[in-house]
Amino acid sequence: MRILIATAGSRGDVAPYTGLGAALRDAGHEVALAATASFAPLAEEAGLEFRPLLADPRAHGDVQGKSALLRAAAAFTTDLGEGFADAVDKGTDLLLLSTTTAPLGWHVTEATGIPSMGVYLQPTAPTGDFAPTVMGARSLGRFGNRAAGRFALRMTDRVYGPAVARLRERLQLPTLTATQMRLRRDQAGWPVLHGFSSALVPRPSDWKAALTVTGSWWPYLDAGRRLPAGLEDFLAAGPPPVLVGFGSMAAGHGERLSELAVHALRRAGLRGVLQSGSAGLVADGDDVLTIGDVPHGLLFPRLAAVVHHAGAGTTAAAARAGIPSVTVPVAADQPFWAARLAAIGAAPAPAPFRSLTADRLTSALTTAVREPSYARAATAAARHMATEDAAGSVVTAVRRLAR
């Protein structure tokens, strides 16, 4: 089959699909990845065709407040919808749609007749088991959790409303709201495979049969890839260090976070690696090293712990490596994933970004690294994750659809 995987967002919203795409390619399919233009190198490294989506999540600037966030999200999805149909050619046999692209892809499916499946990195369907991921970690009770889940979907549909209207007009389809299309998909039992591990989030007990949990999909990693020589030298020069990194979060806070991190590491008696990321972390010294982007799969197993923003991908990578986390959630679904690590015992209680201090980080680091229970819990999660054939489950689902 000729398969198009469509996703949009930050690096964490794109990178897992490179490994999934490579697995589908190795199974004999032709695979293309559609994402915003900055991620072309990720697709090319994995040997996948790349198709740019003409939108930029950074174009609408840093925003504060819920109303401003909703406006920025609506502007981004409208930009995304403008070029979405262009990424789908007539030879495409199957669309695999992420959480961010499904509300647009459904309409392309209607217009073209191309079948589709969901490949989501987050649980979005309402459930009584937990509150929506975008609403943090506090349970509202089974009835409240389901009600909040439905409200979260209505808010998502509100964000996508303008983009859907323009896309349907371009596709010469009759008027249909985002909410009405979502209801159609749900009633049809549209299949969604979820790329997270049941070690972190067990499959909700009240989900419909069409919603499955496969395990985590991992970014593509070439068999010959190695860590930079300077990093290898640092790792060999002493005990396993702690990585501090915030991915695409915390832009503009680099100086404060760097000073805070180095101070906490030294007070805890730990060596450190600072991953610059969007924050621009940087530090000097024999006991600390600054690095750029390196594969989590190569570095994490050689660490004592990792301080991170609790994005879905970094959360899964830390658990897969069997190392404790110290979570500093910033926004979106990060408080949810931070709470999940704490719930399974692989991390102390989260230290939210807005209230992070050197004292709090020092205490959390000391607890996570010196108390053996956190490493034991992370190791148990890693063993569970090793039994999940996540990409293979998607390959099997595609094979069934092709029959």
Cβ 8 vs Cβ 57: under 8 Å? yes
Q: Residues 30, 3: contact at Cβ < 8 Å? A: yes
Residuewise pLDDT in 10s, the chain (403 residues): 999 999 988 888 899 999 999 999 999 999 999 998 889 999 999 999 999 987 665 554 444 455 666 677 777 777 787 777 888 887 899 999 999 999 999 999 999 999 999 999 999 999 999 999 988 778 889 999 999 999 999 999 998 998 899 999 999 999 999 999 999 999 999 999 999 999 999 999 999 999 999 999 999 999 888 999 999 999 999 999 999 988 777 666 778 888 888 999 999 999 999 988 777 788 888 899 988 889 999 999 999 999 998 988 899 999 999 999 999 988 778 899 999 999 999 999 998 888 888 899 999 999 999 999 999 999 999 999 999 999 999 999 999 887 6
Residue 17's pLDDT is 97
Q: What is the pLDDT of residue 286?
A: 86
- C-alpha 65 chain-centroid distance: 22
What's the chain's length in residues?
403
Spatial neighbors of 218 by CB under 8 A, at least 6 apart, are: 16, 19, 297, 317, 320, 390, 391
Contact 277, 247 (CB under 8 A): yes
Distance (Å, whole) CA 82 – CA 166: 8
**Cα→Cα distances 316→68, 182, 282, 327, Å:** 30, 28, 25, 12
To the nearest 10°, report the CA torsion of 39, 45, 48, 52: 20
Sequence-distant (6+) residues with CB within 8 A of 267 are 358, 362
DSSP characters over 324-388 = -EEE---STTHHHHHHHHHHTTSS-S---GGG--HHHHHHHHHHHHHSHHHHHHHHHHHHHHHT-
Residues 6+ apart with CB under 8 A from 335: 136, 137, 310, 329, 350, 352
CA-CA distance, 164 to 212, in Å (whole number)? 26
pTM for the model: 0.90
d(CA 114, CA 297): 35
What is the C-alpha separation between 75 and 307, in angstroms, rounded? Answer: 32
* pLDDT on residue 257: 85
Q: What is the pLDDT of residue 60?
A: 47
Q: Is 244 within 8 Å of 259 (Cβ atoms)?
A: no
